[in-house]
Amino acid sequence: MIELSLDTLLTRVQELLTYDNNSPLIFNSGLFLFLFVGFAAGYTLLRRTTSLRILYVIAFSIYFYYKSSGIYFLLLVFVSISDYLIAHAIAGSQDKSLKKRMVGLSVAINLAMLGYFKYTNFFIEMANGLFGAGFLDFQNIFLPVGISFFVFQSMSYTIDVYRGAIRPLSRWTDFLFYLSFFPQLVAGPIVRARDFIPQIRRPLQVTREMFGTGICFIIGGLVKKAIISDYISLNFVDRIFDEPALYSGFECLMGIYGYALQIYCDFSGYSDMAIGIALLLGFRFPKNFDAPYKSATITEFWRRWHISLSSWLRDYLYISLGGNRKGKMRTYLNLLITMLLGGLWHGAAIRFVLWGALHGVALALHKAWMSIAAWAKPNGEQMNPLLRLGGWFFTFNLVCLGWLLFRAEDMQTVHLMLYQIAHNFNSAIIPQFVLGYKAVVGLIVLGYAMHFLPEKIDGDIQRKVSGASFWWQVAMLTVVVWCVMQIKSSDIQPFIYFQF
């Protein structure tokens, strides 16, 4: 019996130390909760020894990334060494042309690495399509989880050093800490060096407000991701997108609206948990989502959706292209290029390019409209109620059209779903649909109701949860975890943005 227990223990330890590509380590898994409790105990013991605490967090972050992507954690270490050295070369030189070449080297290294892992198969597929099947051999290249996020963070560091916005770090371990910090490592938010680096070596202090707010964010993130997003995905959305011809136009439309909620709850749920975990460790991340489906214009949508990416594209790509400083036509072209590249950032497929083009054209047209119509506004808060309602309806459905391109496996699926909506809507099926998908409909209604809560009510709820006693917070978190366990599928569902 003792021998069996010892064998079992050794097996468990081996599983903890081995990467399993079928079971990556993610926030909403029981394994992460178990590991985080142990990590937090050690983190608390090291709260007064800054250097040791930093090394401890780096070790856990590297382990976390290893459990998510295996041996590819070495890419993260390589980027940290490369850009650390390049940033010092930039800061230590007085030669402007050398500085430009060095920041160009940083961008080239990062984009070359990103391009190899994300786009090699895409270009092989394009070449085979142009020159015939078999022209190039297909390469089954594994995409390391979160590579787009830490590459963008690293580039922002060297670019900011080049621009003089920050000074290079004197310790490589601090830079590795910034790049590898596990709460935001694999799916964002994209944290700027100038926002995060000042927090690394300051005295660790987790206030009552930070702890309570962190628990509130974690609870909200779990509800969004593990209850709403996962359930409607497995039990409705995936079925529609897998076989759209089997469903009516109404069901296809509900599938698109369901996916709009699914991707929001999935991604903002991850961001909420990342922000919450960081707060428990004494770090503050910027907000990444601000009720984007409340937007009444496409410009407002991109000020509310994936804020860390949209602001990164604005500051490091759009402005570098010239922004709005070179005339109207150049501004529109810059917007289109930025969103096309933003689409490609999400994935190497024509549908992502079309998704980016849709948003780029929409942003350019809205900017042109604001220059023509004096009453046109960038944000819904500045409109009168009737125009705001019309703007919201148009913007929401335009965004959902984009999500159709984003989610569909191919353009045939896009065509089938639009055809069903236009020619086989069948509204008579609505009562049957509601009865047949009671739980799905209930969660969709709950998800959108949470999203459209007035800011005052949402703020009041957050303040009550974050201001509750410790044991009440533990009780609320326990109830949410219990609910997750009741409805979860046999397999943990990975976050959508892991693939980007």
- Geometric angle at alpha carbon 257, from 382 and 147, rounded to 5°: 85
Residue among 254, 265, 268, 273 nearest 229 (CA): 265
Residue among 171, 13, 166, 176 nearest 79 (CA): 176
- Geometric angle at alpha carbon 74, from 71 and 77, rounded to 5°: 155
Residue among 120, 25, 13 nearest 66 (CA): 25
Residue 409 main-chain phi, psi, to 5 deg:
-70, -30
Cα dist. 190→150, 184, 240, 288, 314 in Å?
Answer: 8, 7, 32, 9, 13
Enter the tokens of residue 395.
Answer: 């913007």
How long, in residues, is the chain? 500
378 within 8 A of 299, measured Cβ to Cβ: yes
The DSSP 8-state label assigned to residue 138 in this structure reads: -
Cα dist. 388→264, 290, 295, 303, 371 in Å?
Answer: 22, 17, 9, 16, 18
Q: Is 359 tagged catalytic?
A: no
The sign of the CA dihedral 147, 180, 218, 315 is: negative
Catalytic residue among 88, 306, 346, 451: 346
86 within 8 A of 104, measured Cβ to Cβ: no
Beta strands in 168-281 (DSSP E): none
Q: Which residues are catalytic?
A: 346
